[in-house]
């Protein structure tokens, strides 16, 4: 339980300890032959069960879940030379060293004994290590080794590209070092200079719920012989094991349907549903499902799909800004997802419109699983067109990208396979920008086009300056005429004709209503009516406390996990509450992305006492109070 106090007079740990002694160290009386004897009962000693693995042999399992080389985007965007490096993926493998014992997967993974692909997603593998009984800590190193060809007589050599140094604690089941809980790039994830790595470590466990014996015995007070991954004692819809892993109290109801501490639009209940596919409630993520389109006979030469190279370009660009993108294209990694997941082919349509007809609704209804709506953005790689539009209410989570010869080759002058794939990546990144809040009604540079003046009241000089100074993929000028630009603007050309796009991205845009409707009668962007009626947080029985928010503003801001900007916070207090142990405070945060439309998200819940001291659940603090491990 983390406590934030309005003064420094008391510590909550000391208060609890003193109260504990006062209650249990009282006097009792023994009567013998009519004589009264006073005996003092000594205060009990708090006993810690420091056993680590009493019911099973101690072991450590190292899972390598995914390895992605980060270099493909740069190879695709090369401007001078033949640019063929993108066709030659690297070959690599990994080595795990645990307490000096080494395991090397070379010769036993991939199709040729090593991985030879830009991204090995869907090729999970693991190694197991015996650990001496009751050992508390293990030192672990994970290395990514790349096979480098060339040299004398063309003999390949092994080059160490990444080394991840970790310390695993068998009491807590957590690791620290180059990766740690709530670090800047996600738990079980390492963003290196050359490779991005997803991994997991866990120890032998009698009941197979992933919660170490020491934690169950001393902290949670659960039964170490019962699988807590199947139990939900607080009836909040999330089992004990997940709540323990991500630091939620498994015995107090949490509003997981609304909690979203990383403000990515994927609430905790959805993060739990997506846990098999790397979802992390403390790491901003974008999930995308992409389907293709059937070809229209033998003259329809372009495959209507999102190429692997384009996917990797999108993933890498967002990774550089601390946002992880996961794309379901129907690959093996996603095979156990919904029946109508990614990789399907929708019926051929020559052209689709984002204003009239909107036949994309049929794809949205029948090819995009209902349980994914609100989590995923849905991209269909069609024949012609390129737009982001709503298919339910006014939420912009549906995208069409034209991949036919007209859109991909003629319009973008993409006459080589590399240029063709880069062009598709550019349009996809552009449309994703709309689904992240970069729209014409918030900034005139978005969707500005040279051939058609979309802002009639703007002077020619202003129009030209937006057209050429807004150096962003959101500007059509740079989708079609700049071979290497594949990014949102950094604002380096200065306001008002340029803006820094990245701090304006609002990840939950795909699940909130846009502030304007695009009507069939609208001829220019100036015809859009913008009405923002957002009333702020509405939660019956709770009230905004301005003074309390002012006291804890900085602490609350630290709780929100937003990578591209800062936040505004508000604390809401329950109007009436009887039980002093009940949660009586809800903390909301809204990213400061104006003029992008945004809303408040619930980031945590806690308790305020009569002296306005704030208490938040913290399993790490509980461990430190019980028995400091470091």
Cβ atoms of 360 and 406 within 8 Å: the answer is no
Angstrom distances, CA of residue 34 to CA of 31, 37, 38, 349 = 6, 10, 13, 101
CA angle 334, 294, 360 (to 5 degrees): 80
Residue 487's φ and ψ, nearest 5 degrees, are: -170, 160
CB atoms within 10 A of CB 503: 18
Do residues 414 and 420 make contact, with C-beta atoms less than 8 angstroms apart? yes
DSSP secondary structure letters along 572-585: EEES----TTS--E
In angstroms, the CA 224 to CA 55 distance is: 9
Give the span between the Cα atoms of 195 and 198, in whole angstroms: 10
β-pairing, 101-104 vs 585-591, is: unpaired
Determine the Cα–Cα distance for residues 325 and 196; give it in Å rounded to an integer: 12
Residue 622's pLDDT is 87
Question: What is the per-residue pLDDT for 81?
Answer: 60
CA 287 – CA 311 distance, rounded (Å): 12
**Residue 97: enclosing H or E segment and its boundaries?**
strand 91-98
Alpha-carbon span 268 to 581, nearest angstrom: 23
Edge-to-edge strands of the sheet including 59-69? Answer: 125-130, 59-69, 195-203, 189-191
Whats the size of the chain, residue-wise?
Answer: 630
Tokens of 122: 């869907």
Is residue 175 within 8 A of residue 165, CB to CB? The reply is no
| CA angle centred on 532, ends 531 and 533, rounded to 5° | 110
The CA–CA distances, whole Å, from 98 to 60, 175, 177, 369, 419 equal 9, 13, 14, 42, 45
* CA distances in angstroms from 364 to 305, 345, 380, listed in the order given: 17, 13, 9
Dmax (CA) for the chain in angstroms is 111
69-101 pLDDT, tens digit each: 999 999 999 875 667 899 999 999 999 999 999
Q: Which residues of the chain have pLDDT under 50?
A: 7-37
Query: CA 236 from chain center: how many Å?
Result: 22
Question: Which pLDDT belongs to residue 428?
Answer: 97
Q: Quote the CA–CA distance of 290 and 286 in Å, as a whole number.
A: 13
pLDDT at 45: 58
pLDDT for position 37: 46
Distance CA 254, CA 268 (A): 10
* Angle at CA of residue 401, ends 311 and 345, nearest 5°: 80
Work out the burial of residue 225: count CB atoms within 10 Å of its CB; fewer than 13 is exposed, 13-18 middle, 19 or more buried: exposed
At which residue do the structure tokens 């990208």 appear?
401
Give residue 6's pLDDT: 54
Phi-psi region of 455 (alpha: psi -120 to 50; beta: other; left: phi over 0): beta
The per-residue pLDDT for 571 is 98
């Amino acid at each position: 339980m983390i406590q934030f106090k309005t003064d420094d007079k008391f510590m909550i740990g000391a208060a609890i300890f003193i109260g504990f002694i006062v209650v249990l160290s009282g006097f009792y009386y023994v009567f013998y032959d009519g004589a009264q004897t006073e005996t003092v009962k000594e205060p009990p000693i708090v006993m810690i069960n420091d056993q680590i693995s009493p019911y099973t042999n101690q072991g450590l399992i190292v899972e390598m879940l995914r390895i992605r080389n980060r270099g493909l985007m740069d190879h695709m965007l090369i401007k001078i030379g033949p640019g063929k490096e993108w066709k030659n993926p690297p070959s690599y493998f990994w080595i795990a060293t645990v307490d000096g014992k080494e395991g090397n997967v070379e010769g036993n993974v991939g199709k040729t004994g090593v991985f030879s692909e830009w991204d090995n997603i869907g090729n999970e593998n693991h190694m197991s290590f015996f650990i001496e009984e009751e050992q508390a800590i293990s030192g672990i190193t994970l290395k990514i080794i790349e096979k480098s060809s060339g040299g004398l007589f063309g003999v390949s050599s092994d080059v160490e590209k990444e080394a991840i140094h970790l310390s695993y604690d068998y009491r807590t089941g957590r690791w620290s070092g180059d990766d740690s809980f709530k670090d800047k790039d996600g738990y079980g994830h390492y963003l290196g200079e050359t490779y991005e790595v997803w991994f997991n470590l866990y120890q032998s466990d009698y009941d197979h719920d992933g919660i170490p014996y020491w934690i169950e015995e001393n902290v949670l007070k659960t039964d170490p012989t019962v699988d807590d991954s199947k139990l939900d004692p607080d009836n909040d819809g999330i089992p004990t094991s997940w709540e323990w892993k991500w630091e939620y109290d498994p015995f107090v109801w949490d509003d997981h349907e609304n909690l979203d501490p990383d403000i990515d639009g994927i609430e905790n209940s959805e993060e739990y549903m997506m846990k098999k596919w790397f979802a992390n409630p403390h790491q901003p993520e974008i999930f995308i499902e992409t389907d293709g389109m059937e070809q229209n006979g033998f003259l329809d030469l372009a495959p209507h799909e999102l190429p692997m190279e384009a996917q990797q370009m999108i993933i890498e660009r967002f990774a550089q800004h601390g946002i992880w993108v996961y794309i379901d294209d129907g690959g093996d990694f996603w095979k156990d997802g919904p029946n109508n997941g990614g990789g399907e082919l929708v019926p051929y349509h020559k052209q689709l419109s984002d204003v009239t007809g909107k036949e994309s609704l049929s794809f949205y209804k029948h090819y995009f699983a209902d349980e994914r709506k609100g989590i995923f953005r849905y991209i269909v790689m069609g024949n012609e067109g390129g737009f982001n539009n709503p298919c339910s209410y006014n939420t912009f989570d549906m995208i069409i990208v034209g991949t036919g010869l007209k859109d991909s080759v003629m319009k973008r002058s993409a006459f080589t396979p590399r240029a063709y794939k880069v062009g598709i990546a550019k349009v996809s990144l552009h449309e994703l920008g709309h689904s992240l809040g970069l729209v014409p009604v918030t900034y005139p540079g978005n969707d500005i086009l040279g051939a058609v003046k979309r802002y009639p009241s703007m002077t020619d000089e202003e129009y030209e300056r937006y057209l050429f100074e807004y150096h962003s993929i959101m500007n059509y000028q740079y989708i079609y005429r700049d071979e290497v630009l594949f990014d949102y603007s950094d604002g380096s050309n200065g306001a008002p004709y340029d803006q820094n796009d990245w701090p304006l991205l609002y990840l939950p845009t795909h699940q909130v209503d846009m502030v304007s409707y695009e009507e069939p009668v609208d001829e220019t962007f100036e015809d859009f009516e913008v009405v923002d009626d957002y009333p702020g947080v509405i939660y019956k029985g709770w009230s905004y406390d301005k003074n309390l928010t002012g006291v804890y503003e900085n602490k609350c801001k630290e709780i929100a996990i937003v990578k591209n900007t800062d936040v505004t916070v508000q604390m809401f207090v329950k109007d009436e509450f009887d039980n002093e142990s009940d949660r009586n405070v809800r903390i909301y945060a809204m990213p400061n992305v104006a003029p992008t439309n945004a809303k408040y998200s619930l980031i945590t819940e806690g308790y305020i006492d009569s002296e306005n001291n704030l208490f938040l659940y913290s399993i790490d603090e509980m461990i430190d109070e019980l028995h400091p491990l470091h």
